[in-house]
Chain A
């Protein structure tokens, strides 16, 4: 009646992927809503968050039960520990997508400040990082995880660039401040998504290599 250990591990991997797919899509949709000025897409993002929250709970439950009942060792233990941590990061990515949704709601209620260029670029890179981090997780690909971590700098630089550009708008015309502030916040949320993808990559490297690469500065 009980499922075999291998099937349970495969089930957990599948749950993590499903959740990853959802937060990836949330991020894509909310930026699409901003660029295309399409409010209708925002409802879709919110409904996906409900599913993400449900999976957040289910994945933690599955991990705890596997640890309690199967006494996982070595690579299995690292896989389950990684799944739990990745779970937290994915849920936070979902939250960031919701934060962007809130900013988008206020931005789409007023005329556009400027054409969006850097923010969609940031979003592209952050999404790429997220997708790569999950691919690295499924395939146990630590090389991909390393390469992805390095991309985070690009996101950070774009965030600074967005900030500098919008600062000039605000200085020259204070009526732009509310809209500029919203866009700055959007860029900050995207930057945080990149950070979470970086965390996921670090967890993947731990899972594959058993090596902790966090808090060691630029990767060698």
Chain B
């Protein structure tokens, strides 16, 4: 299938504190990769490096390379705004724009990206994104309502629709379900499985059952190191590293 991301000896620091240590990882196209590990293991820092979310963080620096389709995303030639259009992000807390309607929340990325689109084009893309985010049926009659009037689970799917509207190749999700109830979580998990037919998805989670349910590949991080990455079936039945086994059996973390 080929790799979307190739991460080569990536280390990163906040000031003097080294957060990630020589990470090497390949992320396959149209797969779901979960990144799991105990708090402070560097998993969120890692995923944020994949679309340069730390660029403005004071004291942040990194070494090594992150290749997206063979191009180092930290090279000077790469425009971070363009990069983030290809590599979208969904956060832990659903964060629809408070003053915008459901429709505007999804359309906003299209408008901000400066592409000249007709109103009909925008409507069509908004609808398609909401359909893909499995939200359309619930909101199609309420498109002018404020985005924040939706339930938490709906808001999160609205944020996923917003991310999908600009047609990214990769979707990064940082704990997308940890603020949601079990039913909404199940919906998002189903959605992740469906979306992986078209998109490459990287999910940070400290819910290892969730990682088991949704992932093709699972990466286990511990104290800034990538301990093990393998097919989820392998990781959860017979992991290679003792520390992975201890983590997933609840011996620590």
Contacts and interface: CB of A to CB of B under 8 A. Distances in A.
Interface of A: 1-2, 4-5, 64-65, 68-71
Given A2-B32, A4-B193, 11 more contacts: A1-B32, A1-B196, A1-B197, A2-B193, A2-B196, A2-B214, A68-B212, A68-B233, A68-B237, A69-B212, A69-B213
Interface in B146-203: 190, 193, 196-197
Q: How large is the interface on B (under 10, 10 to 19, 20 to 34, 35 or more residues)?
A: 10 to 19
Interface of B: 30-32, 190, 193, 196-197, 209, 212-216, 232-233, 236-237
Contacts of B212: 68-71
A9 to B, nearest CB: 13
The interface residues of chain B, by DSSP majority, are classed as helix
Contacts of A70: 212-213
Kindly name the residue among A1, A70, A71 whose own CB sees the greatest number of chain B CB atoms within 10 A.
Answer: A1
A5 to B, nearest CB: 8
A69 B31 contact: no
B215 A64 contact: no
10 contacts: A1-B32, A2-B196, A2-B214, A4-B190, A65-B237, A68-B233, A68-B236, A69-B212, A69-B213, A70-B213
B237 A2 contact: no
Contacts of A64: 237
Contacts of B30: 1
A1 B216 contact: yes
Closest CB pairs A-B (n = 9): A68-B236, A69-B212, A68-B237, A65-B233, A1-B196, A71-B209, A1-B216, A1-B31, A2-B193
A208 B87 CA distance: 47
Nearest to A3: B193
B190 A2 contact: no
A64 B237 CA distance: 8
